[in-house]
Structure 1
């Protein structure tokens, strides 16, 4: 594959970043350096690590960055749950983001397994 931009997992991760930013823009202003920033940073980490890993020279390094992406995705899922629990996110917004993140999680796990099989 010539570019990470063609990877469906990268495209879906980019969509998740956009949705995350849109869903957090109405969080309380006092959270701008707290939960809002943390949620946004870990959402950005997912496609960023997919892209960075794609540019590495070995499958071992690629897998390392894909695993970092999954870790960031789990962090995002946890923080979204916190935002829902403290009523910064509606149930509807949470469910939409969470389902998108779960779909991406399944895709990443499958992609990682395919790369491992290539070894």
Structure 2
């Protein structure tokens, strides 16, 4: 199976693209840069792990992706509180990162068992 077939990869790519598209007008460049980097890190680390091939490497990079999802969720919640992000959109994105984290957790366990 290719990482491109994984729902978690597809969804994290969509979220990353959305973040780039929806936050382009943010005036706080540091916050925007950190937010988009965290979002980009999730599908990128999924891809890197699967390209390395071994279950141990896949699990390691999925763990990094899961950490990036948590980082992104935190940044989204901070963005709401700081008034940088519209609460409705950012809450939806935060919920999606939470779901992605659960999906990644299940994949990590699967690859650790092999």
TM-score range, shorter chain: over 0.9
Whether 2:33 is the aligned partner of 1:37: answer yes
- Which runs of structure 1 show a deviation greater than 6 angstroms over 4 or more consecutive aligned residues? none
In the other structure, the counterpart of 1:22 is: 21
1:19/1:97 contact within 8 Å kept = no
Q: Give the root-mean-square deviation of aligned CA atoms.
A: 1.1
Gaps of 5+ in 1: none
Alignment of 1:89-108 (within 5 A): 89-108=85-104
Contact 2:76–2:91 at 8 Å: present in 1 too?
A: no
Deviation at 1:93, TM superposition (A): 1.1
Q: Structure 2: which 5+ residue stretches go unaligned?
A: none
Q: Any conservation in 2 of the 1:73–1:105 contact (CA below 8 Å)? A: yes
Distance 1:96 1:21 in 2: 15
Q: What's the CA shift for 1:94?
A: 1.3
Q: Is the 8 A contact 2:77 2:91 kept in 1?
A: no
TM-score (norm 2): 0.94
Q: What's the TM-score, normalizing by structure 1?
A: 0.90
Q: Which residue matches 2:4?
A: 5
2:108 matches 1:112? yes
2-side partners of 1:116 and 1:25: how far apart?
Answer: 38
The higher radius of gyration belongs to 1
Secondary structure in structure 2 of the residue aligned to 1:25: coil
